[in-house]
Amino acid sequence: MHPQTRVLHPTAFGTSGLWRALRPRDLFEPARRLVPWFAVIALVLALAGLHLGLIVAPPAQDQGDAFRIVFIHVPAAWMSLAIFVVMAALSAATLAMRHRLAPILASALAPTGATFAFVTLWTGALWGRPTWGSWWAWDARLTSALLLFLLYLAIIATQMAIEDIRRADRSTAILSLVGVVNVPVVYFSVQWWNTLHQSTGIALNVPAASTAIAIAGTGLLTLACIAYATAATLLRAQSTILERERRSPWATHLRDSDALE
């Protein structure tokens, strides 16, 4: 019943068995060590990307400097989709394998996914106003992106509302697996329906050299977002692990050894 009473069978250590055998606490120390590295990588990549996007890149011919919103909007949109897919995969592990680390990572990903989904909507509105003349439209892309954000909020609320941890994990896992259907809808909406939203991310009316700069800037900021999401998720997972194992001798020992200061 209690998490640490589970005994590991030697055969559990196969290639996929190792992942199955991982306990929540096994992630704690690696997470603690990795967070500062990912944070520094995120900062460096973000500064390089912002330098390209705000200083080096020339304005686009058709929409001037408003196009610079692309450097946050597109990476944030990609992240909001990618995080949901990872969360759904972890949810499958939670339900099918009764994995105990997977739900911790999934619940740690949700708030960061919600952050990116919100940033996508916000920057989209501020980009839409000067280029389309409208903050918002109920077209397929925008509506499905809003639904993505609401799904993240529903997942976070479910996790918080259900007191029994196992039940909360299972409920959010089911919600993630149902909600992941919306991810391809968001992605392909611009092809499937007639939308106000343009069909591709970087189809800007700029010379080839400028397009290369725009792609490089977007790429750097996407990598920065991946590093940031990793750092934020591992930091959040640490809190969840401590919270879930606070009564175990492991947590007491951890505190005694002052490894946390």
Partner 1 sequence: MHWNSWQDFWAMGGHGLYVWGAYAVTLAVVVTEVVILLVKRKSILEHLGRLTRLHRRREAPQRK
Hey, how many other C-beta atoms are within 10 angstroms of the C-beta on 97? 12
- Based on CB atoms, which residue is closest to partner 1, 168 or 242? 242
- What's the min distance (Å) between Cβ of 147 and partner 1? 20
Subset of residues 55 to 114 that bind partner 1, contact rule: CB under 8 A:
55-56, 58-59, 64-66, 68-69, 72-73, 76, 111-112
CA distances from 8 to 2, 12, 23, 237 (A): 14, 7, 10, 22
What is the C-alpha separation between 112 and 68, in angstroms, rounded?
23
Give yes or no for a contact between 189 and 141, defined as CB atoms under 8 angstroms apart: yes
Question: Toward partner 1, which CB reaches closer, 21 or 46?
Answer: 46
Q: How far apart are CA 81 and CA 120, in angstroms?
A: 11
- Give the CB-side neighbour count of residue 183, counting CA atoms within 13 A: 20
Stretch that binds partner 1, among 21-29, 86-94, 123-131, 169-177 (CB under 8 A): 123-131
Interacting positions 213-252 with partner 1 (CB under 8 A): 228, 232, 235-236, 238-239, 242-243, 246-247, 251-252
Closer to partner 1 by Cβ: residue 123 or 144: 123
Question: Buried (b) or exposed (e) across 190-202, using 16+ Cβ within 10 A?
Answer: beeeebebeeebe
Instruction: Quickly tell me which residue has 């005694």 as its tokens.
Output: 256
199 near partner 1 (CB under 8 A): no
Q: How many residues form the binding site for partner 1 (CB under 8 A)?
A: 40
Of 36, 130, 184, 207, the residue at the interface with partner 1 (CB under 8 A) is: 130
Closest distance of CB 54 from partner 1, Å: 8
Residue with tokens 């925008």: 142
Residue in 29, 58, 21 with CA at minimum distance from that of residue 210: 58
Chain residues in the site for partner 1 (CB under 8 A) = 54-56, 58-59, 64-66, 68-69, 72-73, 76, 111-112, 115, 118-119, 122-123, 126-127, 129-130, 228, 232, 235-236, 238-239, 242-243, 246-247, 251-252, 254-256, 260
